[in-house]
Amino acid sequence: MSRFYLTTAIDYANGDPHVGHAYERIGADAIARWRRLRGDDVQFLIGMDEHGQKVAQVAEAEGVTPQELTDRIAATFQATWDRLGITYDRFIRTTEAPHKAGVRALIERIYERNPDDFYEQAYEGWYCVGCEQFKRDTEIADGRCLIHTNRTLERKTERNWFFRLTRYTDFLRQLNRRPGFLEPETRRNEILALIESGLEDISVTRASLAWGIPWPRPLSTGETQATWVWFDALPNYLTATGFPEPGWETRWPAQLHIVGKDITRLHCAIWPAMLQSAGLPLPARVWAHGFALFKGEKVSKSSGVAFDLDAAIARHGSDALRYFLLREIPWDTDGSYTWERFDERYTADLADAFGNLASRVLAMLARYRGGVVPDAAETELDRSGADAVHRYGEAMDALLLHRGAAAAWDLVSAANVYVDRRAPWTQAKTGDAAGLDATLAALARTLERLAVLTWPFIPEAATKLWTGLGLGDAIPVAAAWERALAPQVAGLQTSRIPALFPKPETPAATPP
């Protein structure tokens, strides 16, 4: 069994989860489920980024301590991920004592191995609290950060500890050129261009920040500063393995970091340089997905309200939102979503195509064969099925989740066309028993395939379908891919199941 350590970015604990956060967690969960289907020993890490000025400011505005704020927000995030069926193995919070100890150990390790990598310097620059980063002139327009146009930049003049990132320029160039380290290609080109434009050393401590991990060494003035929040957050992937306590080496490095395209630089320049400086193994692969845009706009406080995550889950259920986001928004680039598209896809792809196929096949098996799947030779539908499984596997391995979903739903369409063309009701009426057996057996095998292929996207419905086929209460994950390749349902006693994606009697009103 190969180990597959998968992580997502950890979310800032300064507000409620929104669709952008959900998109990343759902996509990573589909990948975790896919790797489990392939038989990997998956460790799936998610969590919260709880320190820094942004969190401290919100706590102050709400009149609570930062710890009270992050306790509350972390609980809300976790409850949301549970509702969405996110199968994380570990939920890390950067305020946990072992994480704080791990960050300090990592910093000390850099001091020991490469003492020149940290140095003191007075610095003056524009700080964006939204990004928790100093911004270069090229990243500022009209006095505001390009990403957080609703926030004012803060001028900071202070003496800090610096990390000598520039020393790693060649190393980072080689690393990011390595095929497969950073994908998709567009993001890799961006990082390579950034490296060519010249990296700068980075300030890694903050003078005025009370809500952070104390930097393990004081400045020459005797002052102790807090660790810059990204220097505290990035190591979560490492500290979650137990670092520096014994055993971490068996769990590190990560096979895959999933992050948004706005934080690629942090993951493909700063993080690998920190690890290299500390003499630690590097993550194998970074995937930078695009943005989920509501009506073409970035999720903001206002669009977060317009496409409220709780309302979106309540509208058609968790499976429907998972499917919709992963099918509608390409995993390798930006994509837009609206309530109307959500309703359309729910009705067309889930209720009419998938749900209807499942219920009509199980109903015909019950009506014509007492629920027992006949044993009959392969048909052209099985060949379409084998082809879909193949295309699906290639897409999922390449992390093109939208294509994986499309391959599965192509098979749904092929099966619905097959039903109409074979007209099993006519075969039954005319006494074509062999023909009817062939039709029903091919359809049952296709449903078995579809239960496996759709499980990373719509796990609840896929499991109900699996059960309806008489295959058991849960999909036997590590053995299921074999069943997608070679379905084995002949002789099983199937049963009818309630509609997987019921259509509302009266469609819910569409929010603005």
- Quick one: how far is CA 49 from the chain centroid? 16
Q: In this structure, what are the phi and psi dihedrals at residue 201, rounded to the nearest 5 degrees?
A: -65, 155
Q: In this structure, what are the phi and psi dihedrals at residue 162, rounded to the nearest 5 degrees?
A: -115, 150
Nearer residue to ligand MSP within complex by CB, 52 or 404: 52
Nearer residue to ligand MSP within complex by CB, 132 or 448: 132
Q: What is the 3-state secondary structure (H, E, C) of 173-194?
A: HHHHHCCCCEECHHHHHHHHHH
Residues 484, 164: Cα–Cα separation, whole Å: 51
206-265 binders of ligand MSP (CB under 6 A): 233-234, 236, 259-260, 262-263
* Per annotation, catalytic residue among 99, 100, 135, 145: 145
Tokens of 137: 């002139």
- Nearest Cα neighbor of 407 from 449, 438, 379, 356 is 449
Candidates 8-16, 80-88, 121-129, 433-441; binding stretch for ligand MSP (CB under 6 A): 8-16
Q: How far apart are CB 495 and ligand MSP at their closest, in Å?
A: 40
Q: Does 83 bind ligand MSP (CB under 6 A)?
A: no
Residues 241, 99: Cα–Cα separation, whole Å: 10
The HSE-up count of residue 65 (CA atoms within 13 Å, CB side) is 5
Q: In this structure, which amino acid lies at residue 206?
A: R
Q: Does 20 bind ligand MSP (CB under 6 A)?
A: yes
**Is 301 annotated in the active site?**
yes
Using the rule CB under 6 A, which residue among 12, 118, 134, 163 binds ligand MSP?
A: 12
Q: Does 275 bind ligand MSP (CB under 6 A)?
A: no
Helical ranges in 334-432 per DSSP H: 339-345, 356-369, 380-397, 401-422, 424-429
- Nearest Cα neighbor of 489 from 466, 456, 505 is 466
Nearer residue to ligand MSP within complex by CB, 93 or 445: 93
**Is 268 annotated in the active site?**
no
Tokens of 268: 């493909």
Nearer residue to ligand MSP within complex by CB, 342 or 466: 342
* Per annotation, catalytic residue among 51, 54, 100, 128: 128
Using the rule CB under 6 A, which residue among 44, 215, 291, 342 binds ligand MSP?
A: 291
Q: How far apart are CB 387 and ligand MSP at their closest, in Å?
A: 32
Residues 171, 459: Cα–Cα separation, whole Å: 41
Contacts of 444 (CB under 8 A, 6+ apart): 361, 365, 373, 469, 487, 489, 492, 494
- Nearest Cα neighbor of 369 from 294, 434, 321 is 434
Nearer residue to ligand MSP within complex by CB, 34 or 237: 237
Residues 88, 93, 98, 104: is their CA dihedral positive or negative?
Answer: positive
Q: Does 11 bind ligand MSP (CB under 6 A)?
A: yes
Q: How far apart are CB 292 and ligand MSP at their closest, in Å?
A: 4
Q: How far apart are CB 464 and ligand MSP at their closest, in Å?
A: 29
Q: Does 23 bind ligand MSP (CB under 6 A)?
A: yes
Nearer residue to ligand MSP within complex by CB, 233 or 309: 233
Residue nearest to ligand MSP (CB): 260
* Per annotation, catalytic residue among 100, 131, 257, 289: 131
Using the rule CB under 6 A, which residue among 56, 86, 202, 299 binds ligand MSP?
A: 299
Q: How far apart are CB 29 and ligand MSP at their closest, in Å?
A: 14
**Is 99 annotated in the active site?**
no
Element (H, E) at 1: none
- Nearest Cα neighbor of 396 from 387, 408, 385 is 408
Nearer residue to ligand MSP within complex by CB, 79 or 479: 79
Q: What is the 3-state secondary structure (H, E, C) of 430-484?
A: CCCHHHHHHHHHHHHHHHHHHHHHHCCCCHHHHHHHHHHCCCCCCCCHHHHHHHH
Site string for ligand MSP, 38-77 (x = CB under 6 A): -----------x----------------------------
Counting residues that bind ligand MSP (by CB under 6 A) gives 20
Nearer residue to ligand MSP within complex by CB, 11 or 40: 11
Q: How far apart are CB 15 and ligand MSP at their closest, in Å?
A: 8
Nearer residue to ligand MSP within complex by CB, 257 or 369: 257
**Is 145 annotated in the active site?**
yes
Tokens of 120: 């003191």
Using the rule CB under 6 A, which residue among 4, 5, 6, 9 binds ligand MSP?
A: 9
From residue 412, give the alpha-carbon distance in Å to each of 143, 317, 372, 446, 454: 52, 20, 22, 8, 10
Q: How far apart are CB 234 and ligand MSP at their closest, in Å?
A: 5
Using the rule CB under 6 A, which residue among 10, 45, 278, 361 binds ligand MSP?
A: 10
Using the rule CB under 6 A, which residue among 251, 298, 341, 360 binds ligand MSP?
A: 298
Q: How far apart are CB 383 and ligand MSP at their closest, in Å?
A: 37
The DSSP annotation for 228-260 comes to PHHHHHTTHHHHTTTTTSTTGGGT-S-SEEEEE
Q: Does 292 bind ligand MSP (CB under 6 A)?
A: yes
397-436 binders of ligand MSP (CB under 6 A): none
15 touches 267 (CB < 8 A): no
Q: Does 312 bind ligand MSP (CB under 6 A)?
A: no
Residues 380, 432: Cα–Cα separation, whole Å: 18
Residue tagged 């970074």 (tokens): 286
The footprint of ligand MSP (CB under 6 A) covers 9-12, 20-21, 23-24, 49, 233-234, 236, 259-260, 262-263, 291-292, 298-299
User: Looking at the annotation, which residues are catalytic?
Assistant: 18, 21, 128, 131, 145, 148, 298, 301
